[in-house]
Structure 1
Amino acid sequence: MSLAFHTECNKGPERLDYWREMVCRHHVAVTPTFDRGADFNGHMRIDDWGPVQLSDTSFSSVEYFHGTSEIRSSAHDDFLCVLNLEGAGAFERNSEVIHYGAGDLLVYDTSQVYSLRFPTAARTISARIPRPLMTSRIPEADRQFAVHLSADRPTTQLAASVLKNAATLGRLPSESRCREMGNSLLDILCIAVKDTLGDDQVPSPAQALMLKRIKRALLEQLGDCSLDVESIAKSQGISPRTLNRMFASEGTTVMRWLWKQRLSASYRALSDGTVRQVTEAAFRFGFKDSSHYTRAFKKEYNLQPNKLVSR
């Protein structure tokens, strides 16, 4: 199936409502904020390649928010892979910001709370991938998964080329061929993800010791909301790729591990009375705002943090 829609057929505020409705209905449930208001322009073409849905999208500057209400309203349980062809973007979740530019890929789980910002006009190719097809190939792709694939890596370049060529074909192959090629496309993409995370999932003894040291250091910095993959790697004198590889050996990512430690530490602090206010817990343990912290806490423990305060 193929589908295309654009905002030119609508005028004024109607085009904003139209874009929001069509993106949510056919792509992913989000709440957009339009920098240019009624001057916003957008065009999206969607093609089905068997299990993988490819979208070629051009749009004015915009920010998309995907929160708990959007997660609940979504009919899909997917991962998204976004290739930037033009412009730059920023993906934010759990106080972590991932910046990516033209030629970069971003692969993330849509069951988490996140925002996606495009400060200038951009063009992207997106692949929507059903969860079972991703997790069967990438076991560590959990519900807080987000990985940036840099354009300077050969495997990223190959995956980006395949995505772009498939999404911009003038005429699609037959449905059966699309299904076969969609699975092959997904295999290539997952190889690029594995290459970024690190192929060797078993750390050497020296790496295991280094991993313990890194974890100890991070536990002492839980309140530092500026921590990201690059700054952590730099402070330890290693490359981001090496850092990713060491945590991938445990089926997680450094930011996912840090996020869980922050939540765990805040749970203990609220339980034993060390911290008496939810807002204090949020800021003490590295979250930038209390509302995001509350959502993350509820999702992790199925419990509102203020319930611990009142005990």
Structure 2
Amino acid sequence: MQTHPSGSVSGPLTSTYYSVDALPAARRRGYWREALSRTFGAVDVAVPDEVRSGTIRTAVLGRVQAVTVESEPQFARRTERLIACADNDDFVVVKLLSRGGARVEQDSRDNAVRAGQLFVYDMARPIRLALPEPFQTKSLVLPRAVLGLDESDISRITALPLGSESPIGGILSPFLAQLVDAAETCPEPVGELIARNVVDLLTVLADEQRGADTTDSPNGARVLLTRIRAFIDGNLTDPDLTPELVARAHHVSVRHLHKLFESEGVTVSRWIQRRRLEECRRTLARRDAADSTIAGIAHRWGFTSASHFSRVFRAAYGQSPVDWKNSATAGWSGRSRPKAPLGRAAGRAV
């Protein structure tokens, strides 16, 4: 983690800790304003003449930044002029107000936010944010490309206080807080995927509070697909896991289930097989798998036929399960652990 206690803010934004606590009083105000702008983009920040305390902690989740801020009262605005002068601030902020109160204004909305509520703002459009008392916030700073949302999708959820009034809201606030707190130790691909799922759930929550029907909306479909993928991951060891079983568990037709997976470029059955292969490959490469049989590992992850497993494994990864396991065993014995073959199946692991 980079630490900047010296009064100058420099270098690329990675995992970083900013604090004014150890600085001379005369240098705190300028340092704090610069740290906020470096973290959240160019903003005009009004802070007390005498800044007594303030910390910013950031961590990287792939292309996403997780940020915790604790500070005294402040007021920030992002104007058309600042937006026009910015080089690359095309991102959206999802913010949980953990402590204190706030007021946020964007897209013709002006709303009060209380502790425990979430809100979203878009750095590509003017915004005003007032935090009139000591506060703590936990935020995800997401490039627009990560969201998969168009301009109209984003504008529907900006500056709306979103809380625990629904089951999704009750889950989302503590989930985002835990994600931000654990960001430094979270693997990047996993962290970015979780961050995107947070935004999907947030969008559905916003639709619910606006009285919109989310059943057939693109955002509702994304959330349903996320739940289905999680269900599949939790049931890979069941040899009877089929598209029919998955559809029944989520109260949708098999046809609708296949339509959801069109965006993945793969059928439901192929997705299940791919995930099983990935788990088998990981298990075969583990040190404690040295005494396990190929057939035993295949059966553990839901394959009913060892010969079928060997065929699909070779087709996906370009080598047999035995060769992969042997190379892994050799790696544990002193040589480097095997790298994933170039011929592995395409697609995201969840």
Corresponding residue number in structure 2 for 1:51 = 63
Change (3 A) 1:39 1:138: closer
Code of the residue aligned with 1:180 in structure 2: it is L
CA drift at 1:143: 9.2
Matches within 5 A, 1:1-311: 1-34=14-47, 36-74=48-86, 75-93=88-106, 96-134=109-147, 136=149, 139-142=152-155, 145-169=158-182, 171-200=184-213
Secondary structure in 2 aligned to 1:184? helix
Identical-residue share of aligned pairs (%): 21
**How far 1:30 moved relative to its partner?**
1.1
Provide the rounded CA distance (Å) in 1 between the counterparts of 2:18 and 2:150: 32
| DSSP-derived class of the 1:5 partner | strand
Q: Which has the larger radius of gyration?
A: 2
Aligned to 2:314: none
- Provide, for residues 9-33 of structure 1, a one-character-per-residue CA deviation record: whole Å limited to 9, x for no partner: 3222311111111121232221111
CA deviation after TM superposition for structure 1 residue 95, in Å: 6.2
Flag the 1:81–1:107 CA change in 2: closer, same or farther, 3 A. same
Contact 1:78 1:128 in 2 (8 A): yes
Shift of 1:120: 0.5
**Which structure is higher in RCO with an 8 Å CA cutoff and minimum separation 6?**
1
The residue identity in structure 2 corresponding to 1:13 is: A
2-structure distance, mates of 1:179, 1:170: 10
The TM-score, its normalising length taken from structure 1, stands at: 0.58
One-letter amino acid of the structure 1 residue matched with residue 213 of structure 2: D
CA distance in 1, matches of 2:109, 2:183: 38
Deviation, 1:137, is: 7.3
Which residue in 2 is equivalent to 1:303? Answer: none
8 A contact 1:159–1:192 mirrored in 2: no
Q: Flag the 1:73–1:22 CA change in 2: closer, same or farther, 3 A.
A: farther
Aligned residues: 201
Deviation at 1:164, TM superposition (A): 0.3
Residue 186 of structure 2: SS of its match in structure 1?
coil
Question: What is the alpha-carbon root mean square deviation over aligned residues?
Answer: 2.6
Structure 2 equivalent of residue 205 of structure 1: none
Distance 1:184-1:15 versus aligned 2 partners, 3 A rule: same
Shift of 1:43: 0.6
| Unaligned residue ranges in structure 2 (runs of 5+) | 1-13, 216-350
- The one-letter code of the counterpart of 1:72 is A
The one-character-per-residue Cα deviations of 1:174-214 (angstroms, maximum 9, x if unpaired) are: 23332333333333333323333344179xxxxxxxxxxxx
Name 2:327's counterpart in structure 1. none
5+ residue gaps, structure 1, are 203-311
Distance change in 2, residues 1:93/1:175 (3 Å): closer
* Structure 1 residue 129 displacement after superposition: 1.9
